[in-house]
Structure 1
């Protein structure tokens, strides 16, 4: 009776070299591109988590303000881009929160300024009579009604179609009117404040957009490279 069992495996050195050459030329670049794309997605997820942590009820536009451009075998660079809506990238909208300072004027503020209602250095905030959406902003329908009522819409047809010209009136800052500066709506005998005029505030940094993304990418990259190479090796040598 044999006291041992011998298992002899005879590998062809040429076959191994071909496999390794194929791995180096075709599979490793794909693995690096895959790792880069997965790392970028980790950074993207970290940005979204930080937005939800920092802000109270951020809108879907802000929450989903990034997308990932996947890496390729020929260029293993994945990029986290900021989406644009209406030609404005999300980081531009969030610049005061990312870098501190003053925010850009909104379109509605620009319309009221062009109409001579909102002085320079002042911005809008919802008043007690504003109908708020689930994100805490004045509803789009009511805002359009206000702009049309004050005849400051770019579209003259909208100005004629929506809002009554005598329904809204504006109290400018610095006047002798006892009412608070803002846009008021006539409701019966007592007017209601729809939009308040506030002096342009200076914001402190709240959202570390770039730092969060870089730290998440640095933390994820090594693991993603290992996982991508393992995935490629398992597929290559299982063929």
Structure 2
């Protein structure tokens, strides 16, 4: 979360003018902070589009502005919860600060089921990636269902079973976890003609994937504020003077 908390001391005006117009300055500073926050949002989205690898529309639309109010700063923040899926402020952390990637929900389900060690990470086969470089939630659910690891919460039944419908979908036969030619991972059985083969869906790595900082969110915000503060303050001050009651 990026905050813009402007004070009277930071106002770029003379002491005499500050005393003369002191009653208008709180409004001017709130308006300035809000407009700067809107600039930060717009500039940040532009940088995200350039630096992130194929960001989804959901990612680009996850940034919000909270207007400044009396005693409260303006804020630019990523939505921290969704009705489903992982919120943007969670999965963007590594691109903002760098470091090792924590386990994803998919991996936690595999670990809980005993299919993967807690020290391992699941790396997807490139053929599974969609246009945004991700594995779709539908595909991951099919895999977890076939492996018997899809029941992530109480009362939710999604694992493949012996029912006719489940057998018809075939996920329990289609996917399995284990080692093939010494490589541990999740595998998919594929029938080509009369022969049956396997291909890797996810391979297991013994080390956590690392990320460098490619999206310095806070630095971007600071630079935008520094570059535009004087202009936005002047515009907000002029607006306040033009609309002030005599």
Partner of 2:119: 121
Q: CA RMSD for the aligned pairs? A: 2.8
For this pair of structures, how many residues does the alignment match? Answer: 212
User: Aligned partners of 1:24 and 1:121: how far apart in 2?
Assistant: 60
User: Aligned partners of 1:171 and 1:143: how far apart in 2?
Assistant: 17
Partner of 1:16: none
Shift of 1:86: 4.8
Aligned pair in 2 of structure 1 residues 141, 92: CA closer, same or farther (>3 Å)?
closer
Aligned pair in 2 of structure 1 residues 45, 128: CA closer, same or farther (>3 Å)?
closer
Shift of 1:137: 0.9
Partner of 1:159: 159
Aligned pair in 2 of structure 1 residues 187, 221: CA closer, same or farther (>3 Å)?
same
Q: Which secondary structure state, in structure 2, belongs to the residue aligned with residue 84 of structure 1?
A: coil
Shift of 1:213: 0.9
Aligned pair in 2 of structure 1 residues 144, 207: CA closer, same or farther (>3 Å)?
same
Partner of 2:12: none
- Structure 2 unpaired stretches of 5+: 1-18, 161-165
Partner of 2:46: 49
TM-score (norm 1): 0.77
User: Aligned partners of 1:43 and 1:150: how far apart in 2?
Assistant: 44
One of 70, 80, 86 as aligned partner of 1:84: 80
Partner of 2:94: 96
TM-score (norm 2): 0.75
> 1:143 aligned to 2:143?
no
Aligned pair in 2 of structure 1 residues 163, 146: CA closer, same or farther (>3 Å)?
farther
Contact 2:78 2:88 in 1 (8 A): yes
